[in-house]
Structure 1
Amino acid sequence: MTTHNRASAIHIWSRRVAPVLAIPAVAIPAVLAGGSAEAGGFGLREQSSYYQGTSFAGTAAGGDGLAAMTWNPAAISFNPGLNVEGNVTYIAPHASIDVFAAGAPITGTSLGTVGVSDMIDNGTLPTFFATYAWDKWAIGFGMTSPYGLVTDAPCNWSGRYYGCYSRIFDMNAQVSVAYKVTDWMTIGGGLNVNYIDAKLTNAQFAGFVPPANNLYAQVDGDDIGFGINLGVLFTLAPGTTLGIGYKSQVTHTLNGELDLSVAKLIPLQNRYVTAGLTLPDQVTASFRSQLDPKWTVLGTVEWTNWSTVQELVVKANNIPVSTLDLQWNDGWFFSGGVEYQWDPKLALRTGIGYELTPVPDSTRSPRLPDTNRLWVSAGFTYNFTQQFSFDFAYTHLFGETSPIFLTPADPANALRGTLVGQVSDGYADMISVGLRYKFDAPQAAALITK
């Protein structure tokens, strides 16, 4: 079943019907949540150990890291012959939700000021890439996870009507081809196949005076969507490249089952709903310039069209039962970095980045405690041989303290009540390791002894 159901219930409430109609209200926000993902909105940027070392500066401009194809399919031409790469990134995010005031739906009864000390679960993100380049042609394949993570809160906290547990899993398969038009320009394009899965839960208002409320809503679902990727890579001078990549929107039609239970044990009712979710298109522009045999400078500017996410509508039997007004803005990411070739075997790199969240203060939800964040990264590559390389990167993110102000003044929150607070103590530590192998790299001659 599929589900990324994000919306809020604004139907006429009754003890039996309203709780069921309200389930999509909590379900959909979770879909777009995926935790405080380490890119704007609910995106995940951590696809490469090599590029993480520079805070993803230079991603679309090519380089030894095969993951450049994620941002620019033309970059698969950068490495001749047959190459493979695997990465694993461990992400340890943290964000607290401080509650200043919370009131129950309809009744306005105080829910106290019980917050959540750590809203976001840790996660592991693996990726894989393979490329083959010959003459003027190159082909590439990548498996990535561009969206996801988890927010997790006990269902007795003061904001329980705005979300408890939300899990988003996303996997993307990319197939691309590149062609070298001239000595200074390569073009590329390909197909993305995106799979997304969600499990979402929340407390559900039942009309009783809290804390007697013991109804819970849960959604499980998945879907597959398709998109394209396009790119161009310019060689401006020996050692200097400029790359521009585009990833299209991916449209999902989410079909999900919404379940209502007592104390998470006794089933009461379930029904099927649908909701449309469009993952945003994105443009990435990067440069890479080798100043001398030792030093290389890199930079990236990235725009993500999150402003397409303005509202989400949930339907049952093709009739709208819930609408969530999100009013997201475009997302922006800026980064710069340097690389230093210590010796033929060891390359050191570092970078800094800044990301503007697309989530406005007026609609920030505990399901998605996304804020502006500062990236600081360092990493290295060690070449065991000319064929076999090891990448390592460490990043620390500094998140900003940002407000949460959700009230029934927005009809979408009619069955969620009031939640006033802030996202604080936001940060993340990320460690990434990767292995790369070049099948066609020259091998050292064998040492013959007698």
Structure 2
Amino acid sequence: MTMHKWARASRDWSRHVAPVLAIPAIAIPVALASSAAHAGGFGLREQSSYYQGTSFAGTAAGGDGLASMFWNPAAISFNPGLSVEGNVTYIAPHASIDVFSATAPITGTSLGNVGVSDMVDNGTLPTFFATYAWDRWAIGFGVTSPYGLVTDAPCSWSGRYYGCYSSIFDMNAQLSVAYKLTDWMTIGGGLNVNYINAKLTNAQFAGFAPPSNNLYAQVNGDDIGYGINLGVLFTLAPGTTLGIGYKSQISQTLNGMLDVSVANIVPVKSVNATAGLTLPDQITASFRSKLDAQWTVLGTVEWTNWSTVQELTVKAYGLPVSTLDLQWNDGWFFSGGVEYQWDPKLALRAGIGYELTPVPDSTRSPRLPDTNRFWLSGGFTYNFTQQFSADFAYTHIFGETSPILLTPADPANALRGTLVGQVSNGYVDIISVGLRYKFDAPQAAALITK
């Protein structure tokens, strides 16, 4: 790059990019909304209205959607000049917990079969992205929520020793750089800074026959962790790209408080507590191929190393006081989609997907009633001008009915009793809206007439 080009790029940075990167300072407080997990485990896939329209097919292969950088940092090179994007997604999940039998720990007293008609709360998930690409270089910044969970049950239900209220709030700041090595290969990488907060509550066994047992326990902690993101984008032919992205594990040590109370009102004890959690690494591979002027096909395969989550142990005074035995497997997601350019202003999308839950039947907990699921999505982009466009998407997810079988045969459940039931009537409705602005879009030449 010549000195003249470096100087021009520096001026463009100071004039365009620096003010834009100040936007998240305003946007972050808005992002403190609750969310329900709708990727495998407690992951959140809903980072983009644009890609939701294809059930997230093609996410790592680039495209007009700036959120592609969430899956593959090399994809920030896809859009020249300066672009910004904001998305807001409303997630309305539903899952019932049917209880076939439940008993108290030690005493074996029956707790009845009172289930929960709707275990998972609705949530709103906002995201923000900004990218700037010039010559062979590109930079990108994103504020996302890769993980999240809110499940809520009254502490009078039959499975109360296994969970009442659970929430996981997560926010991630991603800064990435990409460089175009050749006309057909771009590489990218960067840093993820991740904040997580978790809160878990449940009834606590006090050694008396129910309903005299009215102790309640609550654990609340948070932490900031760091990871990296890497990616490569291949241009196999004009209009055809293949992208592979990697996000590293992030080790988090949640520090907070363990509180025990009577009737969830009168405090009994409060102590400092910690819990270690390793967020999984992930590999996403996607393709995008423009068949002709109107049709584009897309696909994605994604692996998530949820087997890093084997147990969650809460410690006080350095000693274990509670353990959740999870024994999760790796998670897999597959999706395919199409895009049809109706006219220069309107593009239509549709996609299907299937996700294999990492949660095994043997350790499925009412705190996270995760099951295999089938995705069906549709959406569109409308270009108001060459620079300003809006995305809209709707998804319906069909969840499978899956068993719950938790017993004291697992030593971690010794003071939780027995819970036999199933997760049923699981489904999710998702609506997402996004806005995107390209500051450096090419301007049409003025028509000169005599």
Q: Distance in 2 between matches of 1:405 and 1:129?
A: 42
Name the structure 2 match of 1:55.
55
Cα separation, partners in 2 of 1:274 and 1:174, compared to 1, 3 Å: same
After superposition, residues 106-121 of structure 1 pair within 5 angstroms as: 106-121=106-121
Give the secondary structure class of the aligned counterpart of 1:116.
coil
Matched residue, 2:395: 395
For the aligned residue pairs, the C-alpha RMSD in angstroms reads 1.5
- In the other structure, the counterpart of 1:206 is 206
Q: How far apart, in 2, do the equivalents of 1:333 and 1:431 lie?
A: 20
Amino acid at match of 1:247: K
Distance in 1, Cα, partners of 2:446 & 2:238: 33
What is the distance in 1 between the residues matched to 2:430 and 2:96? 18
Q: 1:446 & 1:95 partners in 2: Cα distance?
A: 57
Q: Quote how far apart the aligned CAs of 1:382 are.
A: 0.2
Q: 3-state DSSP class of the match of 1:50?
A: helix
Equivalent position of 1:77 in the other structure: 77
C-alpha distance in 2 between matches for 1:442 and 1:365: 53
Identity value in percent: 87
Q: CA deviation at 1:325?
A: 2.6
The answer to whether the Cα contact below 8 Å between 2:114 and 2:158 also exists between their aligned partners in 1 is: yes
Change (3 A) 1:128 1:326: same
State the distance in 2 between where 1:246 and 1:379 align: 27
- Which residue in 2 is equivalent to 1:340? 340
1:176-198: CA deviations, max 9, x gaps?
Answer: 00000000000000000000112
SS at match of 2:67: helix
Q: TM-score, normalised by structure 1?
A: 0.90
> Which residue of 2 is the match for residue 293 of structure 1?
293
Bigger relative contact order (CA 8 A; separation at least 6): 1
Deviations 1:15-64 (A, max 9, x none): xxxxxxxxxxxxxxxxxxx9861100000000000000000000000000
Shifted more, 122-131 versus 214-223: the winner is 214-223
Greater CA drift, 211-220 or 370-379:
211-220
Query: Which string of whole-angstrom CA distances, capped at 9 and with x for unpartnered residues, describes residues 261-306 of structure 1?
Result: 1111111101112221000000000000000000000000000000
Match of 2:232, SS state, is strand
Q: Which ranges in structure 2 are unaligned for 5 or more consecutive residues?
A: 1-33
2:198 matches 1:194 = no
TM-score normalised over the length of structure 2: 0.90
Aligned residues: 416
1:277 is aligned to 277
- Determine the structure 2 residue equivalent to 1:129: 129
**Mapping 1:186-265, distance limit 5 Å:** 186-265=186-265
* 1:412 aligned counterpart, secondary structure: helix
- After superposition, the C-alpha distances for 1:162-187 in whole angstroms (9 at most, x for unaligned) are 11111111000000000000000000
Query: Which stretches of structure 1, 4 residues or longer, exceed 4 Å deviation after superposition?
Result: 444-449
3-state SS, counterpart of residue 46 of structure 2? coil
**Pair 296,392 (structure 1): closer, same or farther in 2 beyond 3 Å:** same
Aligned 8 A contact 2:229 2:246 in 1: yes
Letter of the aligned partner of 1:144 in structure 2? T
Greater Cα offset, 192-201 or 182-191:
192-201
Distance 1:161 1:266 in 2: 19
Letter in 1 for 2:129: F
Which residue matches 2:315? 315
Tell me the residue number matched to 2:19.
none
Equivalent residue number for residue 413 of structure 1: 413
Answer whether contact 1:35 1:42 (CA < 8 A) is retained: no
Gaps of 5+ in 1: 1-33
Q: CA offset at residue 211 of structure 1?
A: 1.3
Q: Which residue of 2 aligns with 1:97?
A: 97
Residues 96 and 117, structure 1, Cα contact 8 Å, conserved in 2: yes
Structure 1 contact 387–443 (Cα < 8 Å) conserved: no
The farther-off stretch of 147-156 and 213-222 is 213-222
Q: CA deviation at 1:67?
A: 0.2
State the shift of 1:199 in Å. 2.2
Query: What is the distance in 1 between the residues matched to 2:357 and 2:327?
Result: 12
Q: Is the 8 A contact 1:53 1:392 kept in 2?
A: yes
Q: Distance in 1 between matches of 2:394 and 2:309?
A: 32
